[in-house]
């Protein structure tokens, strides 16, 4: 049995969520209607996993999360509104240690929670088994001040390195925002290869996520929402609600946002990104990195990249929040190197000759 704590200020939402998980038959459920009650229930009920709303009276979800992680760390799935403001709060939660998130399809009080029922149950089950990364809880004002004061060195704009020398593909899902913080900010400003990131994420979230990463990184991070030439020193985050592919524009390699290809289960699709990279690039110039996530998205394409002479990295089980996607790549014989997330940036830097 899985002990689940549902935290939401809406009695209606709590009732819907309770019914959803009761129907599964293997959840023991308690409820809290604000963050203060959640902290108390974490002590007394000691849940295996928590679903946590963000906007609540008396104590909001972000404050509650920081206390949960400091007192008794527990896997948390944030349940947030599908807005840009909700996205920013969700990324703050991921930074503080939340494992994953789901977005309410109908706003703060949703009568349509069953629309995301399958996703929510799957993410809660995965979170209950997830590894928690080291506690990063700090005072919010202190952490924001540190990020503002951190020197950010952008690659000089006149500099150009041939794209054919290398291109990095990154596939990631559950636990991805936090894991990418372990990698992208540690790449130097003169990193010579473009990086394309397919992170499973809804449409309203990818631009705020790209902006957040851009503020933390030496490289330029952008959301790939329109056709863009692929340039060194840039990180392209695939737009949510679309698929990111490689193609040609005016005779040059470009990153394109295409409508979701329904032949693939997850979006932005890692598999489709890998397949189009094989069509457009010499496989020996491709580096494919598979990070934490549920499922097998990208495993076949990345294994094919290795087979054709490309280099591949799978995140190690010891650091992966959810070992599904890296495990599938390893199972297919597609992992050239298996590394913990904190060693991936140095490996990429070494291969790029920085």
Q: Are 236 and 222 in contact (CB under 8 A)?
A: yes
Q: Give the distance between the most distant pair of CA atoms in the chain.
A: 63
Contacts of residue 123, Cβ cutoff 8 Å, sequence gap at least 6: 77, 100, 102, 174, 294
Told to judge if 200 belongs to the known catalytic residues of this protein, a careful annotator would answer yes
Of 48, 297, 319, 341, the active-site residue reads 297
Told to judge if 346 belongs to the known catalytic residues of this protein, a careful annotator would answer no
Backbone angles phi, psi at 280, to 5 degrees: -100, -20
Of 81, 173, 269, 319, the active-site residue reads 173
Contacts of residue 109, Cβ cutoff 8 Å, sequence gap at least 6: 10, 12, 13
Which tokens is 62 given?
Answer: 């972000």
Told to judge if 297 belongs to the known catalytic residues of this protein, a careful annotator would answer yes
Buried/exposed 207-232: b ≥16 CB within 10 Å, e otherwise = bbbbbbbbeebbbbbbbbbeebebbb
Contacts 24+ apart (CB under 8 A), 34-40: 34/7, 34/9, 34/58, 34/59, 34/64, 35/7, 35/59, 35/60, 35/61, 35/63, 35/64, 35/67, 36/64, 37/7, 38/5, 38/7, 38/64, 38/68, 39/64, 39/67, 39/68, 39/71
Of 200, 234, 267, 296, the active-site residue reads 200
| Catalytic sites, residue numbers | 173, 200, 297
């Amino acid at each position: 049995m899985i002990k689940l704590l549902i935290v939401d200020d809406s009695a209606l939402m709590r009732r819907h969520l309770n019914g959803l998980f009761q129907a599964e038959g293997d959840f023991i459920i308690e409820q809290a209607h604000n963050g203060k009650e959640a902290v108390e229930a974490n002590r007394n009920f000691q849940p295996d996993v928590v679903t946590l709303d963000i906007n609540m009276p008396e104590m909001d979800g972000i404050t509650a999360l920081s206390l949960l992680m400091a007192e008794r760390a527990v896997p948390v799935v944030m349940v947030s509104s599908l807005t840009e403001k909700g996205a920013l709060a969700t990324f703050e939660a991921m930074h503080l240690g939340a494992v994953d998130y789901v977005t309410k399809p109908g706003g703060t009080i949703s009568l349509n929670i069953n629309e995301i029922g399958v996703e929510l149950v799957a993410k809660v089950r995965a979170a209950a088994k997830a590894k928690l990364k080291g506690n990063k809880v700090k005072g919010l004002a202190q952490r924001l001040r540190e990020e503002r004061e951190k020197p950010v060195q952008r690659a000089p704009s006149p500099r150009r390195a041939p794209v054919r020398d290398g291109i990095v593909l990154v596939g990631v899902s559950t636990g991805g925002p936090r894991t990418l913080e372990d990698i992208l900010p540690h790449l130097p400003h003169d990193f010579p290869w473009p990086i394309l990131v397919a992170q499973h994420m809804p449409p309203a979230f990818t631009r705020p996520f790209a902006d957040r990463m851009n503020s933390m990184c030496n490289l330029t991070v952008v959301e790939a929402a329109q056709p863009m030439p692929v340039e060194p020193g840039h990180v392209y985050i695939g737009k949510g609600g679309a698929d990111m592919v490689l193609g040609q524009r005016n005779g040059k390699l470009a990153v394109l946002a295409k409508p979701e290809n329904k032949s693939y289960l997850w979006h932005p699709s890692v598999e489709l990104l890998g397949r189009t990279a094989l069509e457009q690039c010499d496989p020996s110039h491709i580096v494919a990195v598979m990070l934490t996530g549920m499922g097998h998205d990208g495993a076949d394409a990345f294994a094919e990249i290795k087979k054709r002479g490309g280099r591949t990295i799978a995140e190690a089980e010891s650091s992966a929040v959810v070992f599904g996607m890296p495990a599938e790549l390893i199972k297919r014989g597609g992992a050239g190197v298996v590394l913990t997330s904190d060693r991936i940036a140095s490996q990429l830097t070494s291969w790029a000759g920085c």
